[in-house]
Structure 1
Amino acid sequence: MPSIQHEAIVRLFHERPQLAAELLAESLHVTLPRYDHAAVETGDLTAVTPAELRADSVVVLTRERADARPTPVLAIVVEVQRSPDPDKRWSWPMYLVSLRTRMKCPSILLVICPDVKVAHWSRQPIGLGHPGLILSPLVAGPTDVPVIVDPLEAADDPELAVLSVIAHATTPEGPDILNALLTAVHKLDPDRGARYADMVRAALPNQIWEHLENLMQTEPREFLSDWARDNVAKGRAQGEAIGVAKSIFGVLSARGLDVPDDVRAAIDECSDPERLDAWVLAAVTVESARDLLNI
């Protein structure tokens, strides 16, 4: 099952498909064909192959034509790889062949790896057996993702800024990168900014997030804008609320009490710590889960 971090990275390319072309051209120095638009296509690659194949994401670059529909000029398979998986050395070539056949244009493989060792594994050439046919995956590992510590740069490219946080969270620059992102999203549309803030919070393991948060609060210089500091505190409060809600469900489950969907939703959505604490105590004695809502 894909991890939250895996899904967060995939989501970046759905938010802005241009990110795939940007990484290829600027980080991996791949010469791209001239194109006018970048768009996400279905990752289902089963149309022309019998096996079930599904890429994490597919981005197609197209060029405008005056007398016809836009023409695909390059199809990009985007794969997020967090650990070595020998099966991918068999499926990745199939992804490219299937996509090339479907789109009737050249195809290319871009692998995103947050881990240095996994990036090294992913770069290993894949021999296809036929003389001269060797696939060398194009891999964007931590050393290929730019370190973005300028809030203005992060605001110009928030998707790349999120990827920068994920790739460099454990480095000495980690707090500066996170601060740049959290400051930048304050300048975006509120809904869009909240999506990116939530995305990076979900993508980072708790211990790494707590480490960055502690560094931000103890460094002598001011790392966080007021908005960013408030949102870090909000993220911590939300995490604590989730933990209390799990305790409530655990007590009810141990007592054999069913939790209706509306009651579960009310508990999950509650952010009042005093009410959550009251529900934990009451969960030990209530006759039904629904009685909690009357407390």
Structure 2
Amino acid sequence: MVSSSHEALHRIFQEDPGLFARAVRGLGVTFADPVSAAPFPTDLTENRPVERRVDTLLRMDTEGGERFLLAVESQGKPDSDKPASWAYYLSHLHAKYRLPPVLLVVCADRRTAAWAARQIDIGPPQWPSLTVRPLVLGPDNLPVIDSPDEAARDIPLTVLSASLHRQDPDSDAILKALATALKGLSADDESTASIFIELTEQGLGKTPAADLWRQIMAADLSFFQSETAQNLRAEGRAEGRAEGRAEGRAEDILLLLERRGVDVSEQDRERIRGCGDLDVLGVWFSRAITAQSVAEVFASGGGESLG
């Protein structure tokens, strides 16, 4: 099953597609800032039994008129089957859309990031027919953002920094800077803050940093009146009340879908409210940020896309 931290590491690029260009500048690769980004279907399945899904797929239109496809993969551990899948993804996307594809692999683990960054040559050594060169973002090439001022200038990049540095000693400083930046948002940005609070918690996974984030949310964001924040504060006051947490998360999903104008049937409402698995609800919340239908929220994450 796809974890909520897995979802957060690629869905942050759906929330702010311009994050891609800003984040990879530290790799020495320059892309123009996008002026628009359109989500594309992530299902790369052909008319055969094997299901293939990229984690996130965006068509990027830049200020300079450049257009390309950005395929984002969240990778949790080395997987010997992935290079072949990535090669397939890129070839299929180029053939289907006739646009140049770029593969970005996001890893919170240093060993996985080093593995993913290798150039992949497909074919005999004397003449490889296909070369796959992923761009990789990991703890060693994404900066630590521990200044509240810097965090306020780019909250999505700070969320990604917190997620990728979640195992590092610097994680505390990043989270405190991020909380300060979120506190500076206006009341009109309440729904935006809610999304980034949720993505941060999910991106931190099951780490001590996640526990610290929940404590910060309970103590420092008492001004924040959204339902998500109320649930976080209630969670801090009543740790272990899993049932109440699940109910709150379900209501967050329904509220987000409602605000985005997505139709939700009574049957789907009952399914969401009846789910008691916080990991599943976390995945559904991440998908609800960009989903155009409830079917996309419930979509199976199976196939070869799991990082």
User: Normalising by structure 2, what TM-score?
Assistant: 0.66
SS of alignment partner, residue 54 of structure 1: coil
Q: Gaps spanning 5+ residues in structure 2: where? A: 247-268, 277-307
C-alpha separation between the residues in 2 aligned to 1:6 and 1:13?
Answer: 13
* Identical pairs, percent: 32
Closer/same/farther in 2, CA of residues 135 and 48 from structure 1, 3 Å limit: farther
Structure 2 counterparts to residues 102-121 of structure 1, below 5 A:
102-121=96-115
SS of alignment partner, residue 241 of structure 2: helix
**Worse-superposed segment, 43-52 or 106-115:** 43-52
C-alpha separation between the residues in 1 aligned to 2:196 and 2:219?
Answer: 16
Give the aligned residue type for 1:204.
L
Give the aligned residue type for 2:26.
S
Q: Is 1:99 matched up with 2:93?
A: yes
Q: Is 1:142 matched up with 2:139?
A: yes
Cross-structure match for 1:175: 172
Cross-structure match for 1:84: 78
Give the aligned residue type for 1:240.
G
Structure 2 counterparts to residues 169-208 of structure 1, below 5 A:
169-188=166-185, 189-208=189-208
Cross-structure match for 1:241: 241
Q: Deviations over 1:205-262 (max 9, x none)?
A: 4441366469x89xxxxxx98427986754423643216789xxxxxxxxxxxxxx97
Q: Is 1:9 matched up with 2:19?
A: no
Closer/same/farther in 2, CA of residues 81 and 239 from structure 1, 3 Å limit: farther
SS of alignment partner, residue 240 of structure 1: coil
Asked if 1 retains the 8 angstrom alpha-carbon contact of 2:42 and 2:56, the reply is yes
CA displacement at 1:157 relative to structure 2: 1.9
Asked if 1 retains the 8 angstrom alpha-carbon contact of 2:204 and 2:210, the reply is no
Asked if 1 retains the 8 angstrom alpha-carbon contact of 2:167 and 2:207, the reply is no
Cross-structure match for 1:28: 27
C-alpha separation between the residues in 1 aligned to 2:26 and 2:112?
Answer: 18
C-alpha separation between the residues in 2 aligned to 1:207 and 1:228?
Answer: 23
**Worse-superposed segment, 46-55 or 142-151:** 46-55
Closer/same/farther in 2, CA of residues 59 and 213 from structure 1, 3 Å limit: closer
Cross-structure match for 2:43: 44
**Equivalent pairs, count:** 241
Closer/same/farther in 2, CA of residues 195 and 101 from structure 1, 3 Å limit: same
Highest RCO, 1 vs 2 (Cα 8 Å, sep ≥ 6): 2
Q: 2:149 aligns with which of 145, 149, 152?
A: 152
User: Normalising by structure 1, what TM-score?
Assistant: 0.69
CA displacement at 1:15 relative to structure 2: 0.6
SS of alignment partner, residue 92 of structure 1: helix
CA displacement at 1:138 relative to structure 2: 1.6
C-alpha separation between the residues in 2 aligned to 1:239 and 1:183?
Answer: 24
Q: Deviations over 1:79-105 (max 9, x none)?
A: 000111111111100111111122212
Q: Gaps spanning 5+ residues in structure 1: where? A: 66-70, 218-223, 247-260, 269-295
CA displacement at 1:180 relative to structure 2: 1.1
Give the aligned residue type for 2:76.
R
CA displacement at 1:167 relative to structure 2: 1.3
